[in-house]
Amino acid sequence: MKKTILAILVGSVITLSGCNTSDSTETLPPTDVSNFVDVLDRVGNPDRMKDRDAQSNLSYNAFTDLGAWHGHLLPSDDSAIGSAGGIMIVDQEYSSYIANENFDKLAVIDADSGQEINFSSADVNAFSTPDALHQVIENDEFKIVLTTRFGTNRTSLIETQITNNTGQFRNLNLVWTGEFLKDFETIGDNVAATSVYKALNPVDGGISLTFNKTASWKGLKTEDGAQFSITRSIDNATTAVNDYSYRSEGEITIAANGNATFYNAYSYVHNPTEALQEASNVNTLLQQRSSVMSASKDRWNEYLAHGLTNQSATKAESNVAVKAMMTLNGNWRSPAGVVQHGTVTPSVTAPWFSGNNTWPWDTWKHTYAMAHFNPDVAMDNIRTVFQFQVKNDDPIRPQDAGYLLDVINYSLPQDRIDSGYYDGKYDIPSAAQNAPSMNWNERNTKPSLAAWAVMEIYHSLNNEFDRANDAQAWIDEMYPKLVAYHDWWLSNRDHNTNGVPEYGAAVDPSHNTNDGHMYIKVWTELGDDLKALVGAGNVKQIDENGASKQYQVIGVDSYNKVLDNYEELAITGYSNGSQTATSWESGMDDAARFGFIYDLAKTNSRDYITTVPEATEYDQLGRYAQQHYGFNNDITGSAENWVYTDTSEQNMMKLRDARKDWQVRFGENHDSGTQLVGFSMLQESVDQASYMYSDNKYLSEMAGLVSDGVEGKERGQEFVEHAEFIKDYINTCMFDDATSFYYDIRLVDKDGNSFLDSSGNPVAGVDLKQVSTPYQGKTVYCAGVVLKERGQAPDGWSPLFNGAATQAHADQVMDVMLDVNKFDSSTEYQGQGVSLGTASRDNPAYGADIYWRGRVWLDQFYFGLQALEKYGRHNDAVRIADDLFQNGAGFGSDGSIRENYNPETGAVQGASNFSWSAAHTYMMYRNFYGK
């Protein structure tokens, strides 16, 4: 692609496409969109619907805006310039490409001679700004400028201006051609053409591609009659279709040295009802096209004017801040399906994070950042989470009043549809029209930083947008909902009722039977022994997917017996849905503190492990047992069939003792009667306690600010006292002097015995500290002992981030954070490492590429920076932030912002265009870059 004219074109083209009538030589403000060219790579040429990268993301970063459900790419090849670019659609829960870079490619023909204008030697360019995509073609005869912006939350608009550089009147025929991708996952599969698409039809001078009802775990979910369409402003345009390709034609005339401008509208809608509504919107859009294009640019300039306030940041750092803002706005989806508000999803390009899939944990972080440049979408994102906050008349889980569901999206799940509860509340499609939700999840919630996010929006509306009335209305609206969520934690996740909630699992068929008993799954050849141990009535052989000897083991007591006899039962596989839900509830899906560590069974599930050294390295539990219990972890065998060389009872009991350090116990939680309301993992998590401390602090502040008459306003002092208690509890019970770090505490010993009696006092022989600050007038002891065995992780600096740590404890924690052998990887791996990973490098379960046991996640990274900042290590925080900027692959350039990064190499991992990473990147810009 010819880049030589870029500097000349950027200013002139952006001024032209924005319909800016001011003098083009006027100095633009530093926050004008034209100052931020190609800060995120928008180029790509998809060749199938699921054109994916190595991490299963869509390969290219399409431009989408205004909450729309489709996007455009810039062409990668000069020959494709002049097109609408590759097209991405966002369906109910996923995203896919439907066209390559040649889609809707414009050809210009001299009507008098019938000859196509030759642009093969023209100067061409394509580039992006935050608000638009730009393409330019120019030869001696004509200059063509195409600008892509979004006009509604379903429609993009491409403005095409053709300038006649000749001194002659010209009659021109315009021809647009395009073809939809026919392949789905692999080249030649033809699945899109045979199963996904329903029909391609001409509509006046445009087209309409309709979709079948789909619901595929391969990444597609559409209603019958979902539609992608093109509408053209040229009245005389006509279209002919052939299978899934088309040709549209139109005519224009251009005076000598004059120009002509026309528009094409591209819409993606979810169903025929939306199609009718959007057809009317498109007509209005095309009538007001010039002002719509200007408004889009003005809107983005407003984002940048509010968002780019760090005068100390370098241009490169400001570029990354803009990339973060683009990422967050690109993941914004407008209301659709049962979701009544706008929302921001984790990633428009990742396989499970697109559509309008909305998580609370992600939302708190998105909105904390967007409060500073797009507060209205931030508020709507939070409203979406609370739209399905459980009420006491809920048809599925009335016992969970106040609860926030983990994932909600476009369609209700089948049980909620069948309940009839939503009839008349939402327009629920028939089963023939649409499938129920695929990724909706109610089995857990997420940590509560909700009040933290709500108050950030409140202060931003007041202080940065001069919207005091909106700020007041906002906290008046949210405060009672936040209080209900706060109360839920204490009623349904506080197993010992000491005011310090645990993480756990809701009552849900994913991990409990219909009559409310928790179950696990185990694989063993000793089925008779298993039945003898727990009782035949508590065992059900299930043999899913043809596997041999797989059993469902029912009941908490049965589960505990399995843990106590794990080696004796020769268990080769194990799955605990409650443990999974608990880790999800924490937001740290496979963190070490929740008992996740690779063992020999896991090693045997990996066919790529083919050598003894590889197997020994992968078997983390075996290595841990060798180091701490003298277990002989020598291995023999071959891929998927590794065994220990010493299987004597004496040796295997050492492994059993080691495994107990990593086993997790559960307790049932009941209401004041006998109603089961959920399950708690029997450990109190230091990060959850820290978030509860913050929650109380923010709620106490909010109670003093909300209007008279708002429910719960009188509870401010209660929240103050609860915060004081939790802070004391964290520093008394959760800090370990020997290792200078905060940890979760286990509520039971390794055999499942409680450290406290039924009155809340330590059992005989157990020495536990008493917390100085009472809870609800009662003296409270520490509920257990610190859980050091599972190593150190970012939860240990959560008390610092939340302001709950004492300075003395914080000083010790920060020394650990800055230890080059633990968390300060950018110092240890100069020029490539990224610090503050999700497990210390000496953690027994650490792996640089393990999801939550090594990789660097930017939420915990940013929490770490704030921890250092709040407690006096500002320079270290700035240095670590800069190391990420320099060492994170693609971070400081035009690469997408990723879900996580390798702590030793800086390599990108996980989802591309990841919202919470973008949110914390933006907050790093505000608080650390150049500081």
- Is 343 found in the same domain as 303? no
- Is 152 found in the same domain as 109? yes
- Is 299 found in the same domain as 358? no
Rg (CA), the chain: 30
CA distance 868 to 823: 13
- Is 134 found in the same domain as 239? yes
- Is 345 found in the same domain as 298? no
Domain limit, last residue, from 444, 469, 494: 469
Cα end-to-end distance, the chain, whole Å:
38
| Ramachandran category for residue 368: left, alpha or beta (phi over 0 → left; psi -120 to 50 → alpha) | alpha
**Which residues have C-beta within 8 Å of that of residue 545, sequence separation ≥ 6?**
none
Does 502 qualify as catalytic in the annotation? no
The answer to whether residue 676 sits within a structural domain is no
pLDDT at 5: 39
pLDDT at 27: 54
**Which residues have C-beta within 8 Å of that of residue 298, sequence separation ≥ 6?**
none
- Residue (of 198, 193, 228) closest to 213 by Cα position: 198
- The pTM (predicted TM-score) of the whole model is 0.95
- Is 237 found in the same domain as 128? yes
- Is 148 found in the same domain as 80? yes
pLDDT at 551: 94
The answer to whether residue 70 sits within a structural domain is yes
Question: What are the tokens at 111?
Answer: 């009507």
The answer to whether residue 561 sits within a structural domain is no
The answer to whether residue 656 sits within a structural domain is no
- Is 371 found in the same domain as 301? no
The answer to whether residue 648 sits within a structural domain is no
CATH number for the domain spanning 49: value is 2.70.98.50
* HSE toward the beta carbon, residue 296, CA cutoff 13 A: 33
The answer to whether residue 515 sits within a structural domain is no
pLDDT at 9: 44
CA distance 527 to 530: 5
- Residue (of 622, 654, 663, 667) closest to 787 by Cα position: 663
* Bridging pattern class, strands 550-554 and 539-541: antiparallel
Domain limit, last residue, from 254, 286, 308: 308
- Is 294 found in the same domain as 352? no
Residues in the chain, total: 931
Does 589 qualify as catalytic in the annotation? yes
Q: Is 173 exposed, middle or buried (0-12, 13-18, 19+ CB in 10 A)?
A: middle
Q: How many domains does the chain have?
A: 3
CA distance 313 to 80: 37
| Ramachandran category for residue 831: left, alpha or beta (phi over 0 → left; psi -120 to 50 → alpha) | left
- Is 276 found in the same domain as 391? no
| Ramachandran category for residue 420: left, alpha or beta (phi over 0 → left; psi -120 to 50 → alpha) | left
pLDDT at 29: 65
CA distance 327 to 563: 45
pLDDT at 545: 62
* HSE toward the beta carbon, residue 767, CA cutoff 13 A: 0
The answer to whether residue 449 sits within a structural domain is yes
Q: Which of 110, 470, 589, 614 is catalytic?
A: 589
Contact 587, 361 (CB under 8 A): yes
Domain limit, last residue, from 469, 489, 505: 469
**Which residues have C-beta within 8 Å of that of residue 497, sequence separation ≥ 6?**
none
pLDDT at 548: 64
Angstrom distances, CA of residue 736 to CA of 339, 457, 566: 45, 36, 30
- Is 396 found in the same domain as 266? no
Q: Which of 159, 223, 508, 899 is catalytic?
A: 899
**Which residues have C-beta within 8 Å of that of residue 422, sequence separation ≥ 6?**
338, 412, 416, 428
Which range of residues forms the domain containing residue 900?
791-930
Give the mean pLDDT per block of 10 residues along the chain (931 residues): 41 44 49 96 98 97 99 97 98 99 98 94 96 97 98 98 95 98 98 98 97 97 99 96 98 96 98 98 95 96 97 95 99 99 99 97 99 99 99 97 98 98 94 98 96 99 98 99 99 97 97 93 93 95 74 94 92 92 96 97 95 98 98 97 96 96 96 90 98 98 98 98 99 98 97 94 96 96 98 99 99 99 98 98 97 98 99 98 96 96 96 98 97 85
pLDDT at 556: 93
| Ramachandran category for residue 431: left, alpha or beta (phi over 0 → left; psi -120 to 50 → alpha) | alpha
Contact 378, 329 (CB under 8 A): no
- Is 241 found in the same domain as 364? no
The answer to whether residue 704 sits within a structural domain is no
CA distance 80 to 103: 8
pLDDT at 30: 82
Q: Which residues pair with 58 in a beta bridge?
A: 52
